[in-house]
Chain A
Amino acid sequence: MSNKKQLFRVFSDVLKVDVKSLDESSSPDTIPNWDSLAVINLVGELEQIFKVQFDILEIADFQNIGIIKSILEEKGVFFNDV
Chain B
Amino acid sequence: MVVAPVGWPEKVAELVAEAGESGRIMAIRTALQAIGAMPLEQQGRPFKLGVCRTFTIEAQLDALTLALATLPCQPEILVGELENIEQLLLDDKAHMLKAEPNALLVLWRLEELHPRLVFEHDGMSSVEREKSASDVVNRIEQLCAAYEKTGTAPLFLSTLPERFTFDRATNDVYAFHGPRRAVQRINQALVDIAAQSRHIYIYDFSGWALENGSLAFDLKMDLYARQPIANSALMSFGVKLADTFKPLLLPAAKVLAIDLDNVLWGGVLGEDGIDEIKIGHDFPGNIYRRIQLHALALKRRGVLLALLSKNNLGDVQQAFAKLPDMPLKLEDFTAIRVNWKEKSENIKEIAEELNLGLDSFVFVDDQEFEREEVRFRAPQVSVLSSTEDPLQTLNALMCCRSFDVYRISDADIRRNDDYASQAQRRKLELKSDDPKEFLRTLQLKARIDFVKDETIPRTIQMLMKTNQFNLTTKRHLKSEVRQMLANPANVLLLLSLSDRFGDQGIVGLAIALGNPATKESKIDSFLLSCRAIGRGAEQALWSVLLSHLSRNGYTVLKSEYLRTDKNQQVADLFQSLGMERLTGGTKDCTEFTLNLPYYPEAPSWIDIRNVV
List residues of A whose CB falls within 8 A of some B CB: 13-14, 36-37, 39-41, 43-45, 48-49, 54, 56, 59
Contact = CB atoms under 8 A, between A and B. Distances in A.
Nearest to A47: B231
B26 A37 contact: no
B59 interface: yes
B223 interface: yes
B177 interface: no
Interface string B16-35: 00000011111000000000
Interface of B: 22-26, 56, 58-59, 220-221, 223-225, 227, 231
A44 B224 contact: no
A59 B24 contact: no
Nearest to B61: A37
A45 B24 CA distance: 7
A48 B26 CA distance: 12
26 contacts: A13-B25, A13-B26, A14-B25, A36-B225, A37-B59, A39-B225, A40-B59, A40-B221, A40-B224, A40-B225, A40-B227, A41-B25, A41-B59, A43-B224, A44-B25, A44-B221, A44-B231, A45-B24, A45-B25, A48-B22, A48-B23, A49-B24, A54-B220, A56-B220, A56-B223, A56-B224
Contacts of A40: 56, 59, 221, 224-225, 227
A13 B29 CA distance: 10
Contact of A37 (B23, B58, B223): B58
Contacts of A49: 24
A62 B237 CA distance: 28
Nearest to B232: A48
Contacts of B58: 37
B428 to A, nearest CB: 66
A59 B23 contact: no
B24 A43 contact: no
Contacts, number: 34
Contacts of B25: 13-14, 41, 44-45
Contacts of B220: 54, 56, 59
B131 to A, nearest CB: 34
A49 B22 CA distance: 10
B29 to A, nearest CB: 8
A56 to B, nearest CB: 5
A71 B92 CA distance: 48
A3 B225 CA distance: 27
A39 B231 CA distance: 14
A43 B26 contact: no
A59 B59 contact: no
A34 to B, nearest CB: 13
Contacts of B59: 37, 40-41, 44
Contacts of A13: 25-26
A31 B89 CA distance: 36
Contacts of B231: 44, 48
Nearest to B62: A41
Q: A-side binding surface: helix, strand, loop or mixed? A: helix
A71 B402 CA distance: 48
Contacts of A44: 25, 59, 221, 231
Given A40-B59, A48-B231, 9 more contacts: A13-B25, A40-B56, A40-B225, A43-B221, A43-B224, A44-B25, A56-B220, A56-B223, A59-B220
Contacts of A48: 22-24, 231
Nearest to A48: B24
B302 to A, nearest CB: 43
A39 B22 CA distance: 19
A72 to B, nearest CB: 17
A35 to B, nearest CB: 10
Contacts of B22: 48
A39 B591 CA distance: 56
A32 B223 CA distance: 24
Nearest to B219: A56
Contacts of A43: 221, 224
A40 B225 CA distance: 7
Contacts of A56: 220, 223-224
Nearest to B230: A44
A26 to B, nearest CB: 18
In the complex, which of the residues B58, B227, B231 has the most CB atoms of chain A within 10 Å of its own CB atom? B231
Nearest 3 A/B pairs, CB to CB? A40-B59, A13-B26, A44-B231
A14 B223 CA distance: 22
A49 B224 CA distance: 20
Nearest to A59: B224
Nearest to A41: B59
Contacts of B224: 40, 43, 56, 59
Contacts of B221: 40, 43-44
B53 to A, nearest CB: 15
A37 B61 CA distance: 11
A65 to B, nearest CB: 17
Nearest to B59: A40
Nearest to A57: B224
Contacts of B227: 40
A66 B227 CA distance: 26
A26 B378 CA distance: 58
Contacts of A59: 220, 224
Nearest to B29: A13
Nearest to B220: A56
A14 B25 CA distance: 8
Nearest to A12: B26
A48 B223 CA distance: 19
A37 to B, nearest CB: 5
A48 B22 CA distance: 9
B247 to A, nearest CB: 32
A59 B221 CA distance: 10
Contacts of A36: 225
Contacts of A54: 220
A1 to B, nearest CB: 13
Nearest to B22: A48
Nearest to A39: B225
In the complex, which of the residues B22, B223, B225 has the most CB atoms of chain A within 10 Å of its own CB atom? B225
Nearest to B234: A44
